[in-house]
Chains A and B, each alone.
Chain A
Amino acid sequence: MGVDKPDVLPGSLALMVLRTLDTMGPMHGWGLARRIEQMSGAVLALNQGTLYPALLRMMQLGWISAKWGTSDHNRRARFYAITRAGRKQLATEARNWERMSAVIARFVRPGETS
């Protein structure tokens, strides 16, 4: 595990999970973890264990739902799917992130401000 890989920013994990579920459809926890790592181009160190409490919390908030089903290899697995509230949340969070990253970008490269 690379020492210099940054941790996943708080809050961003939810955004990633929601986006993944929105585009890929229902997935189990391991699939989500792999997918997020892939998407980040292995830049982010996802402590896989942290995913599960986050999923529980998102369920409590009603953004995702979960259902037990069977995986590709015929094993019992829990599948998560985005809910309508989750899609709304995704839209809000995505907007926030874009705004936020724009602001941060200005701090990071001050010379480029218009």
Chain B
Amino acid sequence: MKPRLLLARLWGLVGGRRLGRELDDEIAFHLAQEARLYQARGLSEDEAYQAARRRFGNLTATRERHRETGGMPAIDVLLQDFAHGVRILARQPGFTLVAVLSLAFGIGVNTTVFTLVDASLLATLPYSAPDRLVRLSAVPASAPDARDSASVLEYQTWRDGNRSFAAVGSMIGGVFPRNVGTGQDGVPPERITTQGFSAGMWQVLGVEPLLGRVFTADEDRVGMPPGVIVLSHEYWQRRFGGDPDVLGRTITLMNEPVTVIGVMPPGFGREFYGPISAWTPIGFTPTNVESIVRYLTVVARLRPGVTVEQAQAEMNGLAAGFAERYPERNRDWGVAVDRLQASLVGDLRRPLLVLQGAVGLVLLIACANVAGMLLARGASRQSEVALRHALGAGRLRIAGQLLMESVPLAILGGVVGVGVAWLGLHFVFVVIPPIPALDDASLDASVLIFTSGVALLSVVVFGTMPAVQGSRPDPSRVLNESGRTRTDDGRRQRLRAVLVAGQIALAFVLLAGAGLLINSFARLQANELGVDASGLATFDYQFSVEESMTPVGQYRDVGLWEVSPEVERSFERVYERLKQVPGVLAVAGANRPPLRDGALEMEVRIDGSDRVADTGSTPPISAFYYGVTPGYFDTLRIPVLEGRAFDETDRATTRPVAIVNQAMADAYWPGENPIGRTLRLTFVPEEPSREIVGVVGNTRVSRFDTQPPRILYVPYLQHTRQWQGPAWWDRMRMAYVVRTAGDPMRLAQAVRRAVAEVDAIHPAADFRTVEGDLGAETQGLRAQMILFGAFGGLALVLASVGIYGVIAYSVAQRTREIGIRMALGAPAGGVLGLVAGQALGIVLVGQGVGLATALALTRVLASTLWGVSATDPVTFASAGVVLFGAALCACLVPARRAIKIDPTVALRTG
């Protein structure tokens, strides 16, 4: 069609009514003129008008053709069908309500999950040309999918050797909580989150500071002390009131003076590890450069025109050369180039996609419901359809009409679905742990486009089959209005049964998934941790590397450091002071907080033997290492099984002692008493021989440990003076634990004040309950469990509605038959069996298909599950029982109706 004509017709479509009115005026004028002519020839007024009408021809045909010419017939027809659909919906409010709600929930949950996907997996980073940002990771040849950070030497090699990148930068993976301010420098002491950035990072991200400048390559040089700091907009506003004169000011960071050189724009850098208050240069020392420890997150910007694949190819070469030059440290290590956005949401990717798949199944179930309802309605419209056929409408035309009638249903479902999605999103944010990548999730334009697409797709899914089935020509209907066409009803019923069986199958998959997650969570909750976490609070008290350690050389490929005894003296002062805090029932400290952050693993040598006595097997070579204060076992309520706990007499100058847990005792000295035995660590060159003085109960190092790990405790005052560089944290920080009656958070103020009394510079930071820590670790699993459970529940309800519908319809159809059976003396039980048997068949087939599908699909959950296999038979059986019970309940109402059928009434009316 010519554009001009198309435009005119579209206009006609809009102004259709006006066009019609104008034509009527014109025809009236025409007929009047014509009639005058006849009147002039002597005809009466009436006769003249009749003659004019004859002369004019078929009025209706003219109007019809005029309208067809004026508008667009195809669209006109569609609009008519649509309007017809709306009228039908309005006439059947019950049907409409159930169908719209089904669709709304199906579409709504899809929208909710897509909102999360859109905010994370599909988001773009807020930097220029974000698709050119990549992350470079070290990759062990043995696990090509794993991603490790980079060592300093790797980073420097990649940075200086490539031709693919416009810039390469690095940051320290994770955030550094650091003490800032002393009070004397005008900044109140607090602990802020800082991050180490290389100068290259700013180039890579391409962000200019709001004020001042960022680091120069000079400040990035090896051996350059990090004397500068760049503030975040938020910290600048909060602590310095947005004063531009802050530039050039010297503040104290971890007891060192640093100069403020710049302020970043609001929100900068939040994508990486959440909000950051300040950035400092990474500050490489020669020891850092030699270290094999991988602690740098390397980010790069591709040169224009260079693809990820090309960069990967170049980096492969670079990595091979590097491994050749340093075989002892980099043999079997490669480099991976990944898009930065993808690598930032790496952990979220799988759970989100699994959830999106799950809600896709929910939508399918909802669509099957609506399709079943439309099929049933199709039966009641057979006469109408047959009449249309008889009047010459093609099957395609009728199918099209029936399909078009579904569109208003989908639109309503979509609109209500957006409401459901809005509620769902609020629910999700209550349930899920705070994840920076999901902060921006909202029902924005792209989400609404997705919703419209899903709604339209659902029309195709639920509308096609009923439309095809409903448009089947059935001329007998017109001729025989009262007769039943059994074949067609039978076909409909069979189709519905298949649909319901499909619903049951899908619901089974979702319920099995939900069951596996619930089972995992329950098992995790029941995991014997060995620590009484109720009433326990913990906080960090922390020094900087500069304050606490000096490098003394190399040992086993890593830097060796000498720890200042002042650190332990401070730890002891805080420990002694905490005992005096009112409300503190017990207090202790260790290099790691309980049940979080893992533990330091060390190699153990049993003195005088390489073998375990008698058994002849080689002992395990390692144990987890904790340096603890006296009172540690008492505070955590870890039972002392043999020997004694540490006390005030275990000091740096006394005989080195150790305590092992039951698991370690069993591994090294099975069936023997380990008390009095000696062992030696190999962590630093001068390890003393330590005598075992006690055995304590098993505890978990992490919430997720399935087996009790082997643990070795030493008095914190008997840590070796020398220490390996990578394990700085274990000597810079003391994680104190305090036990109280009631809510541990009530102690926070008193504890902070007590620590400040002893040490004005290093605050008690991150005061929190141990139970909170434990909860935080299971939040991800918990969120997935709740969401999956909600979706599984929704699937269960929808499938129940489906089975209710098909059975209720079947009972209604068979009223006459059941009436006859009962008249002939069939017992109520037999009738019940008749109805239940039909339902049972559908449910069993559905469950069978569902079981097979679930066996194939639940594997995607495997990495999330804990202590349960992805095909756990108990869980699968439970899912089947729940589903079966729900289906049975859904059949109860129609079954009751069936046995209540009064034969006389049924026979008279049927």
Cross-chain contact A52 with B34 (CB below 8 angstroms): no
Which single member of B9, B12, B19, B32 contacts A75 (CB below 8 Å)? B32
Cross-chain contact B57 with A52 (CB below 8 angstroms): no
| Cβ of B143 under 8 Å from chain A | no
Q: Which of chain B's residues have a CB closer than 8 A to the CB of A73?
A: 36
Cross-chain contact A57 with B56 (CB below 8 angstroms): no
Cross-chain contact B62 with A61 (CB below 8 angstroms): no
Q: Which of chain A's residues have a CB closer than 8 A to the CB of B56?
A: 47-49
Given contacts A48-B56, A49-B61, A53-B69, contact A60 B26 (CB under 8 A): no
Q: Which of chain B's residues have a CB closer than 8 A to the CB of A71?
A: 29, 33
Q: What is the distance, in angstroms, from A34's C-beta to the closest C-beta of chain B?
A: 8
Interface string of A25-60 (1 = CB under 8 A from B): 000111001000000000000011110110011011
Q: Nearest chain-B residue to A28 (Cβ)?
A: B29
How many A residues touch B, CB cutoff 8 Å? 23
Most buried by B among A1, A29, A33, A56: A56
Measured CA separation A57–B68 after assembly (Å): 10
Q: Which of chain B's residues have a CB closer than 8 A to the CB of A75?
A: 29, 32
Cross-chain contact A48 with B57 (CB below 8 angstroms): yes
Measured CA separation A10–B681 after assembly (Å): 105
Q: What is the distance, in angstroms, from B23's C-beta to the closest C-beta of chain A?
A: 6
Q: Which of chain B's residues have a CB closer than 8 A to the CB of A76?
A: 25, 29
Measured CA separation A1–B52 after assembly (Å): 12
Cross-chain contact A53 with B62 (CB below 8 angstroms): yes
| Cβ of B58 under 8 Å from chain A | yes
Measured CA separation A77–B30 after assembly (Å): 9
Q: Which of chain B's residues have a CB closer than 8 A to the CB of A59?
A: 8
| Cβ of A87 under 8 Å from chain B | no
Measured CA separation A30–B33 after assembly (Å): 7
Given contacts A53-B65, A56-B66, A56-B70, contact A48 B4 (CB under 8 A): no
Given contacts A49-B61, A60-B4, A62-B4, contact A78 B69 (CB under 8 A): no
Q: Nearest chain-A residue to B29 (Cβ)?
A: A77
Q: What is the distance, in angstroms, from B29's C-beta to the closest C-beta of chain A?
A: 5
Measured CA separation A26–B119 after assembly (Å): 64
Cross-chain contact B22 with A78 (CB below 8 angstroms): yes
Cross-chain contact B69 with A57 (CB below 8 angstroms): yes
Q: Which of chain A's residues have a CB closer than 8 A to the CB of B25?
A: 76, 78
Cross-chain contact A50 with B29 (CB below 8 angstroms): no
Measured CA separation A62–B69 after assembly (Å): 14
Given contacts A49-B56, A52-B23, contact A60 B69 (CB under 8 A): yes
Measured CA separation A56–B9 after assembly (Å): 10
What is the total of A-B residue contacts with beta carbons within 8 Å? 67
Most buried by A among B12, B54, B56: B56
Q: Is the interface of B mostly helix, strand, loop or mixed?
A: helix
Cross-chain contact B29 with A30 (CB below 8 angstroms): yes
Q: Which of chain A's residues have a CB closer than 8 A to the CB of B270?
A: none
| Cβ of B59 under 8 Å from chain A | yes
Measured CA separation A49–B4 after assembly (Å): 25
Measured CA separation A1–B798 after assembly (Å): 67
| Cβ of B55 under 8 Å from chain A | yes
Q: Nearest chain-A residue to B19 (Cβ)?
A: A56
Cross-chain contact A50 with B65 (CB below 8 angstroms): yes
| Cβ of B40 under 8 Å from chain A | no
Measured CA separation A75–B36 after assembly (Å): 13
Given contacts A48-B57, A50-B65, A52-B27, contact A60 B9 (CB under 8 A): yes
| Cβ of B5 under 8 Å from chain A | yes
Interface residues of B in 6-38 (CB under 8 A from A): 8-9, 12, 19, 22-23, 25-27, 29-30, 32-34, 36
Q: What is the distance, in angstroms, from B35's C-beta to the closest C-beta of chain A?
A: 11
Cross-chain contact B57 with A61 (CB below 8 angstroms): no
Interface string of A77-103 (1 = CB under 8 A from B): 110000000000000000000000000
Q: Which of chain B's residues have a CB closer than 8 A to the CB of A28?
A: 26, 29
Measured CA separation A76–B24 after assembly (Å): 12
Q: What is the distance, in angstroms, from B55's C-beta to the closest C-beta of chain A?
A: 6
Measured CA separation A57–B65 after assembly (Å): 10
Q: Which of chain A's residues have a CB closer than 8 A to the CB of B22?
A: 78
Measured CA separation A11–B66 after assembly (Å): 17
Interface string of B62-79 (1 = CB under 8 A from A): 100110111000000000
Measured CA separation A71–B12 after assembly (Å): 26
Cross-chain contact A30 with B34 (CB below 8 angstroms): yes
Q: What is the distance, in angstroms, from B905's C-beta to the closest C-beta of chain A?
A: 57
Cross-chain contact B30 with A29 (CB below 8 angstroms): yes
Q: Nearest chain-A residue to B30 (Cβ)?
A: A30
Q: Nearest chain-B residue to A60 (Cβ)?
A: B8
Given contacts A30-B33, A75-B32, contact A52 B26 (CB under 8 A): yes
Q: What is the distance, in angstroms, from B745's C-beta to the closest C-beta of chain A?
A: 77
Cross-chain contact B62 with A50 (CB below 8 angstroms): yes
Which single member of B27, B29, B36, B69 contacts A56 (CB below 8 Å)? B69
Q: What is the distance, in angstroms, from B458's C-beta to the closest C-beta of chain A?
A: 37
Q: Which of chain A's residues have a CB closer than 8 A to the CB of B57?
A: 47-50
Which single member of B2, B32, B58 contacts A49 (CB below 8 Å)? B58
Q: What is the distance, in angstroms, from A50's C-beta to the closest C-beta of chain B?
A: 7
Q: Which of chain A's residues have a CB closer than 8 A to the CB of B61?
A: 49
Q: What is the distance, in angstroms, from B609's C-beta to the closest C-beta of chain A?
A: 103
Q: Which of chain A's residues have a CB closer than 8 A to the CB of B58?
A: 49
Most buried by A among B2, B4, B9, B62: B62
Q: What is the distance, in angstroms, from B59's C-beta to the closest C-beta of chain A?
A: 7
Q: Which of chain A's residues have a CB closer than 8 A to the CB of B27?
A: 52
Q: Which of chain B's residues have a CB closer than 8 A to the CB of A57?
A: 69
Measured CA separation A28–B65 after assembly (Å): 19
Q: Nearest chain-A residue to B66 (Cβ)?
A: A53
Measured CA separation A65–B62 after assembly (Å): 20
Q: Which of chain B's residues have a CB closer than 8 A to the CB of A1?
A: 54-55
Q: What is the distance, in angstroms, from B641's C-beta to the closest C-beta of chain A?
A: 97
Measured CA separation A61–B587 after assembly (Å): 93
Measured CA separation A29–B54 after assembly (Å): 17
Q: Nearest chain-B residue to A37 (Cβ)?
A: B55
Q: What is the distance, in angstroms, from B866's C-beta to the closest C-beta of chain A?
A: 70
Which single member of A50, A62, A78 contacts B26 (CB below 8 Å)? A78
Q: What is the distance, in angstroms, from A83's C-beta to the closest C-beta of chain B?
A: 12
Q: Which of chain A's residues have a CB closer than 8 A to the CB of B12?
A: 60
Measured CA separation A51–B70 after assembly (Å): 14
Q: Which of chain A's residues have a CB closer than 8 A to the CB of B26?
A: 28-29, 52, 77-78
Q: Which of chain B's residues have a CB closer than 8 A to the CB of A53?
A: 62, 65-66, 68-69
Q: What is the distance, in angstroms, from B431's C-beta to the closest C-beta of chain A?
A: 58
Which single member of A33, A49, A78 contacts B62 (CB below 8 Å)? A49
Q: Which of chain A's residues have a CB closer than 8 A to the CB of B34?
A: 30, 48
Q: Which of chain A's residues have a CB closer than 8 A to the CB of B5?
A: 60-61
Q: What is the distance, in angstroms, from A40's C-beta to the closest C-beta of chain B?
A: 15
Measured CA separation A4–B61 after assembly (Å): 22
Nearest 9 pairs between A and B by C-beta?
Answer: A49-B62, A49-B57, A60-B8, A47-B57, A53-B65, A30-B33, A30-B30, A53-B66, A53-B69
Residues of B at under 8 Å CB distance from A?
A: 2, 4-5, 8-9, 12, 19, 22-23, 25-27, 29-30, 32-34, 36, 54-59, 61-62, 65-66, 68-70
6 contacts between A and B (CB under 8 A): A30-B29, A33-B30, A48-B55, A52-B62, A56-B70, A61-B4
Q: A28-B26, A71-B33 are in contact. List 19 more A-B contacts (CB 8 A).
A: A30-B30, A30-B34, A47-B56, A48-B30, A48-B55, A48-B56, A49-B59, A49-B62, A50-B62, A50-B65, A52-B66, A53-B66, A59-B8, A60-B8, A60-B9, A75-B29, A77-B26, A77-B29, A78-B22
